[in-house]
């Protein structure tokens, strides 16, 4: 059982569409990160959310941390082919002592 459950697993959309991906857990986290990974490359950190209810924007990407700090969402507006990749959420488990764990990821394909 994954500590961080990401949904959906796969998403295939057309350029210009909006989408939301989710990262859920039954645990409370002090912070949560989102990463994007392209094929054959390492994940790249997009954002860290810390405060319950926090919303952060990165151009067309909007990240939200749940009020109870157990879940997070990533919303992309007007998706572009360059958004294609694997989106991973990550967090420190309770008492994890810097052992960062990752969800299984959402694989996004944006078609022109």
Which residues contact other proteins by CB under 8 A? Answer: 30-31, 33, 35, 40-45, 48, 50, 88, 90, 92, 97-105
What tokens were used for 50? 């810390």
Output the smallest distance, CB 6 to other proteins, in A. Answer: 9
What tokens were used for 6? 């990401």
What tokens were used for 17? 């569409």
* Distance, CA of 88 to CA of 45 (rounded, Å): 9
What tokens were used for 70? 């157990």
Output the smallest distance, CB 57 to other proteins, in A. Answer: 18
* Distance, CA of 37 to CA of 9 (rounded, Å): 14
| Closest CB to other proteins among residues 26, 98 | 98
| Closest CB to other proteins among residues 59, 99 | 99
- Scanning the structure block, which residue is given the tokens 């990160």? 33
Output the smallest distance, CB 80 to other proteins, in A. Answer: 23
| Closest CB to other proteins among residues 36, 110 | 36
Residues in the chain: 112
20: number of Cβ within 10 Å: 14
Output the smallest distance, CB 99 to other proteins, in A. Answer: 4
| Closest CB to other proteins among residues 19, 96 | 96
């Amino acid at each position: 059982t994954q500590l961080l459950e990401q949904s959906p697993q796969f998403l295939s959309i057309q350029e210009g569409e909006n989408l939301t991906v989710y990262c859920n857990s039954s645990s409370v986290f002090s912070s949560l990160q989102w990463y994007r990974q392209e094929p054959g490359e390492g994940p790249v950190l997009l954002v860290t959310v810390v405060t319950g209810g926090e919303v952060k924007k990165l151009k067309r990407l909007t990240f939200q941390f749940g009020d109870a700090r157990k879940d997070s969402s990533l919303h992309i507006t007007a998706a572009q082919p360059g958004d294609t990749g694997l989106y991973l959420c990550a967090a420190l488990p309770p008492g994890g002592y810097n052992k960062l764990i990752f969800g299984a990821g959402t694989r996004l394909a944006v078609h022109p």
